[in-house]
Structure 1
Amino acid sequence: MKQALLRVPLAPLFAGVVPLSPETARYVSRVHRLREGERFLAFDPAQALEGEATLVEVGKGALAARIASVHPASLVPRRPVTLIQCVGKGDKVDAVIRDATELGASRVIAALSARCVARPQADRGARWRRIAVEAARQCGRGDVPRVEGPLPLVDALHAVHGAAGACLDPRGALSFGRWVGEVTRVGEVMREVALVVGPEGGFTDEETAACEDAGFARVKLGSMTLRTETVCAAALGALLALTDA
């Protein structure tokens, strides 16, 4: 069996000789011990491009990738899916972004609601984007979700106007499977889907009403109440299984 090439994020990606940053050079030469002349797969997650690369030395201690050609990434999600995740304590959003990337979300919006305990700084976005890139590298995905926020919950809801929305609520009357069947009927165009997940304490009644006013159905994911950081993997995994998208 042919061994898969090491996947390395590299941007901007183009045909020719692409210099490697010191961080990327250390990753390929010290962590994975690639030597001059060995190959790896370079991918640009922002442009969803990839190309086979050969490691070359371009100066004392400086490395580059020689790329014959680039082409669209071979593995990208087919359906646009936005996850609105209310911010949880500690590193819970980090875990959610990692899972969302691996499970095909095209956009992740960190939201602030009344019961959010954590209030991350705006510069947290850079860390979240790095986590998404690393998750894409690991799972074979050729792009990454757009990571936005933190935004007030109402603003996040308005940012996905027109999508088929579900407010994941253990008190919801509509099952997730039934909702998916209604919004992704056979023969329908790949309609955008948006899921909104509350914080540890759930939504207030006013926030649930705001979700419904924005067109989000109240959908029950199962009989058990899940932790906020677990809902992402459960819902996106179920969506993949039910729609193969």
Structure 2
Amino acid sequence: MRQYLLGPSFLGQSRITLSGKESQYLTRVLRIKQDQSFAGIDNQGRIWDLKMDSIGRDSCTLSCSQAEQGKAKVATDTMPSYAGPFPRIFLYQCLCKGKKIEQIVRQATEIGVEEIVLVQSTYCVSDFSNKSEKTVSLRTERLESQIKEAIQQSGSPIATHLNERVLKLTEVPGHWNKKGLGLFFHQSEIPDQKSLYGLLKDLPMEEPIAILIGSEGGFSDEECTFLETSEFKPVLLKTNILRAESAAIYAISAIQVLLTEK
């Protein structure tokens, strides 16, 4: 564990008590001992200095103090040396089959995406619209677990969030609401499109970027037209044919490198 992800109930308290799985994870899996200090991060991306105050049979108590200058006092030598700034990337990912979506969510979190929104598009094989509430809830729990594990293991300073519901593709522009640059990555040439570098070269680091990635079948012509009329810019990745799970990580990585190193 590079850092411990404090849950949504943490609101900056100086002491918190953990029970059940969370307590077992720290005391039995990671074997954190009494009086041992370690790094934490909350859902707002703030870094905390944590110390194990006491360990009970099925609970433990931590003391919490916000880290000075955003850097924990105690960190392993495997913590990332780069602490930002990071581009503000919001991933709109069309549903993929099997465990591909879990892989995308985990890797996007490791890279430092701010929010992940799942999207239902024309060519999606997976369809959440007719699933029971229990099935959807279990799938969400698995994805949240992937995010938590990725933040803790990667040491990411970005507290990645998963949007609470799956959007239809037609809802994406309204949900994004022109907060910044909107891009969609597709599989074919579209007239008069700019390169990814051309779209990003004058973009400030702090401006939010939405990237929309298709499912295994990409986007239909109608969806491409709809997105363009909604002011999303088309991008064709100049590489080999990529699987949906590869395209998402490739696109996020390309954007991050272009913006952090320009």
TM-score range, shorter chain: 0.7 to 0.9
- Give 1:177 deviation, angstroms: 8.8
Instruction: Indicate yes or no: 2:64 matched with 1:67.
Output: yes
- Give 1:40 deviation, angstroms: 1.4
Q: Is the 8 A contact 2:205 2:260 kept in 1?
A: no
Equivalent in the alignment of 1:10:
6
Q: Secondary structure at the match of 1:95?
A: helix
Q: Partner amino acid for 2:239?
A: S
The alpha-carbon distance between structure 1 residues 69 and 239, as it changes in their structure 2 partners (threshold 3 A), is closer
Equivalent in the alignment of 2:110:
102
In structure 1, which of residues 141, 162, 166 is the aligned counterpart of residue 183 of structure 2?
166
- Give 1:223 deviation, angstroms: 3.2
The alpha-carbon distance between structure 1 residues 155 and 61, as it changes in their structure 2 partners (threshold 3 A), is closer
- Give 1:117 deviation, angstroms: 1.0
Q: Partner amino acid for 1:137?
A: Q
- Give 1:173 deviation, angstroms: 5.0
Q: Secondary structure at the match of 2:123?
A: coil
Residue-pair matches, total: 239
**1:108 and 1:176 mapped to 2: Cα distance?**
25
1:86-123: CA deviations, max 9, x gaps? 10101111111111111221121111011111113442
In structure 2, which of residues 88, 93, 96 is the aligned counterpart of residue 85 of structure 1?
93
Q: Partner amino acid for 2:152?
A: R
In structure 1, which of residues 179, 204, 221 is the aligned counterpart of residue 196 of structure 2?
179
1:140-165: CA deviations, max 9, x gaps? 12342231231100102321232312
More moved, 56-65 vs 222-231: 56-65
Equivalent in the alignment of 1:117:
125
More moved, 52-61 vs 114-123: 52-61
Tell me how large the CA RMSD over aligned residues is: 2.6
Q: Partner amino acid for 2:25?
A: Y
Q: Secondary structure at the match of 2:109?
A: helix
- Give 1:221 deviation, angstroms: 0.9
Q: Partner amino acid for 1:29?
A: T
More moved, 10-19 vs 98-107: 10-19
Q: Which protein has the bigger strand share?
A: 1
Length-normalised TM-score, structure 2: 0.80
In structure 2, which of residues 215, 219, 239 is the aligned counterpart of residue 223 of structure 1?
239
Instruction: Indicate yes or no: 2:219 matched with 1:237.
Output: no
**1:241 and 1:194 mapped to 2: Cα distance?**
16
Length-normalised TM-score, structure 1: 0.85
- Give 1:201 deviation, angstroms: 1.3
Instruction: Give structure 2 stretches of 5+ with no counterpart.
Output: 72-82
Q: Partner amino acid for 1:227?
A: R
Q: Is the 8 A contact 1:167 1:218 kept in 2?
A: yes
Aligned positions of 1:130-169 closer than 5 A: 130-148=145-163, 149-162=165-178, 163-169=180-186
Identical-residue share of aligned pairs (%): 23
More moved, 169-178 vs 221-230: 169-178
1:120-146: CA deviations, max 9, x gaps? 344233332232122111111234223
Q: Partner amino acid for 1:33?
A: R
**2:193 and 2:114 mapped to 1: Cα distance?**
20
**1:206 and 1:59 mapped to 2: Cα distance?**
59
More moved, 6-15 vs 95-104: 6-15
Instruction: Give structure 1 stretches of 5+ with no counterpart.
Output: none
**2:84 and 2:25 mapped to 1: Cα distance?**
24
